[in-house]
C-alpha cells in the first residue's frame, strides 16, 4: 500500500513550529512535498525543512506574514510554480490576543482578524487557482468558536467562529470543482505558546473530559486524514479535536 499523499503538493501557513511544524512533517511522512510560510525564527524553519527532507520529500520555506495579503499570495504562487501546482492548503497561521473588553485595543482586534480570518480567505483564493480536482483546503480553527469559558477572549472566539461560516461558504464555491474545504478545531494543545505545564494549563485541563492537553501530532493526524483520499466526501465541516472541551 502506497503513501496516501504520494505525489501531492501541500502548502501550510505558519509551518515552522508547533502545530504547523507537526502538520508539515506529517504531510511529508504521508508522501507530500510541502511548502510552508514563517514570519520569524529562520532557524526553526530550517529545522522543519530538514525534517521533511529526511523523509525523502521536497520542502520549501517562504518568509511571509499572513497579515500581508500580497506577500501571502506571492508565497503561494511561488510554491505552486516550484511544485507545478498545489493539491493541499492548510491555513494554520494564527494569533491569540486576550484582554478584558474595556482594555482590548482596536489595533490588536484588526491584526487578529487579518491573520485568523482574512488570511484564510486570501490563501484559499490564491491556492484554488493552482488546484486540480480532488484538492483539499483545510483551516485550523479552535474549540473556542463554540465555547469561551473565560473573560477576555471575545475577539479571538469571534475570529475562530467566523471560520465556521467561511468554510461552509467556500465548500459550496469549490465543491463543483471537486475540492473539499474543512475546518479543524483543536482544544488545548501543548506548544511553546500554551505549554501543558504552564499557568494557563491549570485552568484549562479540568475543562476537558480527558483532563489533558493534546500534542501537536494528534492535530496533525486529523489534518492528514482530511487531506487524504479517504475524506473525499467530507466538506463544509468543522471537526472538533478537543479532548471533550466542548462536550
Residues labelled as active-site residues: 156
E-strand ranges in the chain read 9-13, 33-38, 59-63, 88-91, 136-140, 180-186, 238-241
C-alpha 50/C-alpha 44 separation (Å) is 10
238 DSSP assignment: E
Q: At what angle do helices 154-174 and 106-113 cross, to 10 degrees?
A: 30
CA angle 215, 197, 103 (to 5 degrees): 100
CA angle 89, 90, 93 (to 5 degrees): 130
Backbone angles phi, psi at 57, to 5 degrees: -115, 160
C-alpha 155/C-alpha 141 separation (Å) is 14
CA angle 83, 89, 95 (to 5 degrees): 125
Instruction: Note whether 143 and 186 are within 8 A (CB).
Output: yes
Q: How many residues does the chain have?
A: 247
Nearest residue to 13 (alpha-carbon basis) of 90, 116, 118:
90
Instruction: Note whether 33 and 85 are within 8 A (CB).
Output: no
Amino acid at each position: 500500500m502506497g503513501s496516501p499523499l504520494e505525489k501531492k503538493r501541500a502548502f501550510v501557513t505558519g509551518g515552522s513550529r508547533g502545530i504547523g511544524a507537526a502538520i508539515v512533517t506529517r504531510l511529508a511522512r504521508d508522501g507530500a512535498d510541502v511548502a510552508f510560510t514563517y514570519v520569524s525564527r529562520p532557524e526553526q524553519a530550517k529545522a522543519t525543512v530538514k525534517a521533511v527532507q529526511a523523509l525523502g520529500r521536497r520542502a520549501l520555506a517562504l518568509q511571509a506574514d499572513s497579515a500581508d495579503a500580497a506577500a501571502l499570495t506571492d508565497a503561494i504562487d511561488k510554491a505552486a510554480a516550484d511544485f507545478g501546482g498545489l493539491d493541499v492548503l492548510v491555513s494554520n497561521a494564527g494569533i491569540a490576543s486576550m484582554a478584558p473588553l474595556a482594555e482590548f485595543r482596536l489595533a490588536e482586534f484588526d491584526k487578529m482578524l487579518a491573520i485568523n480570518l482574512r488570511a484564510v480567505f486570501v490563501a484559499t483564493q490564491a491556492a484554488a487557482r493552482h488546484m486540480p480536482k480532488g484538492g483539499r483546503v483545510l483551516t485550523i480553527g479552535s474549540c473556542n468558536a463554540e465555547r469561551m469559558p473565560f473573560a477576555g477572549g471575545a475577539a479571538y472566539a469571534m475570529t475562530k467562529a467566523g471560520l465556521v461560516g467561511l468554510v461552509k461558504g467556500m465548500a459550496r464555491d469549490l465543491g463543483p470543482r471537486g475540492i473539499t474545504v474543512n475546518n479543524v478545531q483543536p482544544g488545548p494543545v501543548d506548544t511553546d505558546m500554551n505549554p501543558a505545564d504552564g499557568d494557563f494549563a491549570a485552568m484549562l485541563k479540568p475543562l476537558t473530559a480527558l483532563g489533558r492537553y493534546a500534542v501537536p501530532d494528534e492535530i496533525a493526524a486529523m489534518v492528514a486524514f482530511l487531506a487524504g483520499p479517504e475524506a473525499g466526501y467530507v466538506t463544509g465541516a468543522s471537526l472538533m479535536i478537543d479532548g471533550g472541551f466542548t462536550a
